[in-house]
Amino acid sequence: MNRSFGKLLLDSLAALVLASFAMSSFTEAAVGGSRGGGGGARAGASGGAASARAAAGGGAQKNVQVNNSRADARTNNVRSTSVNNVNVERNVNVDVEGHRSCCGGWDNDYHPVATAAAVTGAVAVTSAVVGSIVRSVPPSCVPVNYGGMVYQQCGSTWYQPQGSQYVVVNPPY
Amino acid sequence: MVRVRQIWVLGLLAILLVAPSTHAQTPPAGAAPAAASAVDQASIQALKDMGAFLQTLKRFQVSTELTGERVLVDGQKLQHTATANMDVERPNKLRALMHSSRSERELIFDGKTVTLYTPAQKYYSTVEFVGTIGELINRLEERFGVELPLSDLFLWGTPAAPLDKIESAMNAGQDFVGEDLCDHYAFRQGTIDWQVWITIGSKPLPRKIVITNRADEARPQSVSLINWNLKPTFKDLVFKFTPPKGATKIEIVQLKTK
């Protein structure tokens, strides 16, 4: 009894260990594949890979359009972001919906639509629901460059381009 | 049999649960004094040397691949990536191409005029500005809310990057970034923790920068890998913006305070 119990124990333990190994090697393979070579951290030539991709810039990706129409609405509900520079004076006066408080940074072109429900609930006159996505904007819209992003302003409604589509956002100012 | 196994599994769980906590309760020896010696002067000197070297670079190309994070309302974090390529000629010429999943933008500065161009929509805005790249960085940030990629590169080694604000500085040893061996330093200032990997040898260049934002308890972090070309072949023409066919000039609106 004792022995068979011990064996069972060993078996299940071995299975556990094997399973975790299998998992880790799978993860490694996935990571290696995406970086185009695997290898150790050192031989991975992350610099080379990064520069090659960076050098390609938009060029290689131009033919592929980003489509965020299936993204969960929660992804727009951003409370803060990482920062990219140490020495930039930051406006610390946190103002919800404010540009700097939430979504600064050259990498982050999300305009917060966090208060979508509140805004659409309170301002019933808004013709387009904040957060909704459209394929094109009315011809009367005017493009406006604000806060490092280009919007389309159509009266009180503001659109932000997302790939080939537009999302209705809260007015940036 | 099943019962015996259950007991055993429970026992294992109990060990797993107990083990880490007993370790955690033992105070790490010598942790307190290490934390007290805040600013390592050699690490500050390394920043000075890097800044001084960066200021000597006249004409170069630099590119970065950045991983940033957004924190959602409930504290869950989402990562995103962006790339930027810059052609630079100090003191006052720059062309930056910024690319992310949402947009592609170009910023071109010829010393007198700065242009923001979005190739997808062919929209561009121009603003007159005479000054250095460092001054441009401030102006764009303050007046238009536009951030330049890797703007620290142009500020280190100048009064705009004061080192006396650093509350903690330490040498974190050496580490590889790509194939380059680097000295790794870690700093704290205000709500920002940051790390820099500086190549060893006669050309102290930042190869990697990690910035942790402690203003949010989720601590969103950005990681920038930086690649350098100190012998670029670009022409002066890259700093001149000529509107492509079909491009439309649009208004750029200054930041409004709410």
Spatial distance between the Cα atoms of B116 and B144, rounded to a whole number of angstroms: 11
Q: Please answer whether residues B241 and B126 qualify as being in contact, where contact means their C-beta atoms are separated by less than 8 angstroms.
A: yes
What is the residue type of B81? T
Instruction: Work out the burial of residue A170: count CB atoms within 10 Å of its CB; fewer than 13 is exposed, 13-18 middle, 19 or more buried.
Output: buried
**What does the buried/exposed string (b/e) look like for B169-204 if buried means 16 or more CB atoms within 10 Å of the residue's CB?**
bbeeeebbbbebebbbbbbbbeebbbbbbbbeeeeb
Residue A162 — pLDDT band, cuts 50, 70, 90?
Answer: confident
B116 neighbourhood in chain A, CB within 8 Å: 145, 148
Find which of B85-89, B121-125, B156-160, B253-257 is predicted with most confidence, using mean pLDDT: B85-89
C-alpha distance from B37 to closest chain A C-alpha (Å): 22
C-alpha distance from A73 to closest chain B C-alpha (Å): 11
Find which of A29-43, A78-92, B8-22 is predicted with most confidence, using mean pLDDT: A78-92
What pLDDT shows up at residue A53? 40
Show which of residues 30-69 on chain A sit within 8 Å of chain B, judged by CB atoms: 41-48, 50-51, 53-55, 57-58, 61, 66
What pLDDT shows up at residue A105? 80
C-alpha distance from A149 to closest chain B C-alpha (Å): 9
Q: Give every CB contact of residue A110 below 8 A, 6+ residues apart in sequence.
A: A76, A78, A103, B70, B102
Spatial distance between the Cα atoms of B2 and B10, rounded to a whole number of angstroms: 12
What pLDDT shows up at residue B3? 56
Q: What is the pTM of this model?
A: 0.74
Spatial distance between the Cα atoms of B155 and B143, rounded to a whole number of angstroms: 18
Show which of residues 74-103 on chain A sit within 8 Å of chain B, judged by CB atoms: 74-75, 77-89, 92, 95, 97-100, 103
| B98 at interface of A, judged by CB pairs closer than 8 A | yes
Region A38-64 average pLDDT: 43
Region B1-12 average pLDDT: 56
Quote ipTM for the complex. 0.80
Residue B10 — pLDDT band, cuts 50, 70, 90?
Answer: low
What pLDDT shows up at residue A77? 82
Q: Which of B97, B125, B178 has its CB closest to that of A46? A: B178
Residue B218 — pLDDT band, cuts 50, 70, 90?
Answer: very high
Does residue B115 carry a pLDDT above 50?
A: yes
Interface contact flag, A173 B258, Cβ < 8 Å: yes
Q: Please answer whether residues B176 and B182 qualify as being in contact, where contact means their C-beta atoms are separated by less than 8 angstroms.
A: yes
What pLDDT shows up at residue B226? 98
Region B139-148 average pLDDT: 90
pLDDT, averaged across chain B: 89
Nearest residue in A to B78, CA atom: A75
Q: Please answer whether residues A167 and A131 qualify as being in contact, where contact means their C-beta atoms are separated by less than 8 angstroms.
A: yes
Q: Does A136 or A5 have the greater pLDDT score?
A: A136
What pLDDT shows up at residue A95? 38
Q: In this structure, how many other beta carbons lie within 10 angstroms of the beta carbon of residue B43?
A: 22
What pLDDT shows up at residue A44? 37
Token pair of A101 as six digits: 């408080």
Q: At what angle do helices B2-25 and A2-34 cross, to 10 degrees?
A: 60
Region A23-42 average pLDDT: 37
B211 neighbourhood in chain A, CB within 8 Å: 82-86
What pLDDT shows up at residue B194? 97
* CA proximity to A85, closest of B241, B84, B48, B89: B84
C-alpha distance from B232 to closest chain A C-alpha (Å): 13
Residue B231 — pLDDT band, cuts 50, 70, 90?
Answer: very high
**Tell me: the pLDDT tens digits for B73-113?**
999 999 999 999 999 999 999 999 999 887 889 999 999 99
**Tell me: the pLDDT tens digits for B21-68?**
444 444 455 444 455 569 999 999 999 999 999 999 999 999 999 999
Cβ contacts below 8 Å, chain A against chain B, sum to 214
